[in-house]
Structure 1
């Protein structure tokens, strides 16, 4: 099965991002206190929020990887989305809230910014550290995208592994935030007006709001019970329809049970002359075929019951596709 290695890679990505954010947060805080820059203090809050977020994401990976038991027969995969959702909320409240309020205060009060050099040095070092963390996350995304035969952008949009998605979005936002902070400091130094420093802080807060909202939405849809992407859905349907003794697949339902666990349930119309032994061997073959091709599929249930007739008297055909909010064409 592939998911132990996927979990290990995701854990490594989160740990690297967390350590980078912790070191950067301390450096930004020192520079912010020395310079008095609102943008630098907002960036310090940004990195501190990201560090706490990585800790919550690490907890999400550990808690979600626990094996199934009697009370939780499908495992604890969905618990990872609970902790990831809390991480998104923390980014929303702590990071974005501080950045916006502190930026507005700076704009209204026009506090004088002190030493600029220390801020520029810290911003440069932070940019390098965040770039290293983002490079690792992007490497994992590219590898997973190749395995699923899709583009990195599409994989990132549809992946159920929200921990990797969070690292990529937060590190990308961190790099943009560093550029905004540098621009705000530079304009304040050139003009002598702290307005630009405050505006940079507000923009950093807005950026964090967008990231937090995106991650919260992704985790909520997975907590509710999201289906697999439409293309994978059709591939599973074709695999089942190609089995011996299967006439057609009337209903196919899928659900992400966790970042690397998928449930497949199908109502299958077998050939009229198929015996009980044929149905049993076909069900075994379906499970072997699907789990062999897609290691993330943990459970396969086939129902050989007849289809429910439609209004016109013919067998109704029900399939499940991704809802429009996920961006499927």
Structure 2
């Protein structure tokens, strides 16, 4: 579930998110060093991880959109999932690992070296910047979900464009992380106990673990070779079965070859009196209808076959 035209929009979404994360990372790092807050330093690590993730997602979009060649006749769409998986793993290891480790250290040492004001200012500015980035991702999700006649939640769960899913999740987690950091800093200032700052840092790390695991699972599933969603598969089957010369669709196989590339292969039982020319024309019509209705469908292969038990001989296209 990803439109070819949505690939350009996804690039824009990733670039905006990356620029926002880079600016926020620098501000958080400065505030964390000035205030000594574990939560702020964890948030800085969070933003650094997100910025690196955006770079990897940009590579995923660019390298995955290369056209087919003799060595890769189905294109390079699958490569986008490799880079997106690496992005998720980086968030998992670098961002979450630092946040949890630093939070535990803060709880054990109970040291705080500076003023809290810088933390509050940076948290407020960061929240505004991250909100802008999230708003762009939300607009893209809503636009794509309307095109697919589904809910934004279902679109995010089923979409093959894992870059927009990653950006949406990262920006959502960034806002939650900022709230956690603010709560930790405020409680530490009010109570004079750095325990709350450390707990906030650990919670930010756990949040990153959750956020990284969702796109990681999606990318692994797509790399293995995931079929299109059940509803789309049913619509494809109905489209093929509705052709005049088709008696029934015996087998329908689909696979996501990339964020905006779908392969369709089917064993089709044609009418008894269908000639070779009719079968060829029907196959061409099936491809024309499917690609017109779903621009993501790049390849359509129909295999003329007889219904088991009817005694009809298999036909070659």
Q: Could you say whether these structures have the same fold, taking a TM-score greater than 0.5 normalized by the shorter chain as the test?
A: yes
- The answer to whether the Cα contact below 8 Å between 1:67 and 1:76 also exists between their aligned partners in 2 is yes
Deviation at 1:307, TM superposition (A): 4.3
Task: Name the structure 1 match of 2:260.
Answer: 260
Cα separation, 2, equivalents of 1:113 and 1:153: 43
Inter-partner Cα distance in structure 2 for 1:260 and 1:126: 33
1:97: which partner in 2? 97
Deviations 1:82-123 (A, max 9, x none): 000000000001100000000000001111252111000000
CA contact (8 A) 1:15 1:54 kept: yes
| Alignment correspondent of 1:294 | 294
Residues 202-240 of structure 1: CA deviation (Å, up to 9, x unaligned): 000000000111111000000000000000000001001
**Residues 54-93 of structure 1 aligned to structure 2 (within 5 Å):** 54-93=54-93
- Conserved? CA contact 1:134–1:171, under 8 Å: yes
Structure 1 distance, partners of 2:193, 2:311, is 74
Structure 1 stretch displaced more, 170-179 or 268-277: 268-277
Residue 35 of structure 2 corresponds to 35
Match of 1:325 in 2: none
Following the alignment from structure 1 to structure 2, what is the Cα–Cα distance between the partners of residues 267 and 209? Answer: 43
Distance 1:80 1:237 in 2: 28
Q: 1:45–1:99: 8 Å Cα contact kept in structure 2?
A: yes
Structure 2 residue matching 1:251: 3-state secondary structure: strand
| Range that drifts further, 12-21 or 300-309 | 300-309
1:14-163 correspondence to structure 2 within 5 Å = 14-163=14-163
How far 1:272 moved relative to its partner?
A: 1.1
State TM-score, norm by structure 2: 0.96
Q: Does 1:235 align with 2:226?
A: no
Q: Give SS of 2:265's match.
A: strand
Distance, in Å, in 2 between the alignment partners of 1:120 and 1:306 is 71
CA distance in 2, matches of 1:13, 1:223: 23
- Whole-Å separation in 1 of the counterparts to 2:4 and 2:136: 18
Contact 1:267 1:307 in 2 (8 A): no
Inter-CA distance 314–184: structure 2 relative to 1 (3 Å threshold): farther
Secondary structure of residue in 1 paired with 2:103: helix
Q: What secondary structure sits across from 1:71 in the alignment?
A: coil
Contact 1:42 1:98 survives alignment (8 Å): yes
Distance in structure 2 (CA, Å) of the matches to 1:22 and 1:254 = 39
Q: Could you tell me how far 1:21 is from its partner in structure 2?
A: 0.1
Output the CA distance in 1 between the equivalents of 2:141 and 2:70. 34
Compute the RMSD of aligned alpha carbons.
Answer: 1.4
- How far apart, in 2, do the equivalents of 1:308 and 1:200 lie? 63
Work out the CA distance in 2 between the residues paired with 1:146 and 1:47: 31
Aligned residues: 311
Residues 4 and 295 in structure 2, CA contact (< 8 A), matched pair in contact too: no
Which residue is equivalent to 2:315?
Answer: none
TM-score for both structures, normalised by structure 1 = 0.93
| Contact 1:113/1:194, CA 8 A, preserved across alignment | no
Residues 182-261 of structure 1: matches in 2 within 5 Å? Answer: 182-261=182-261
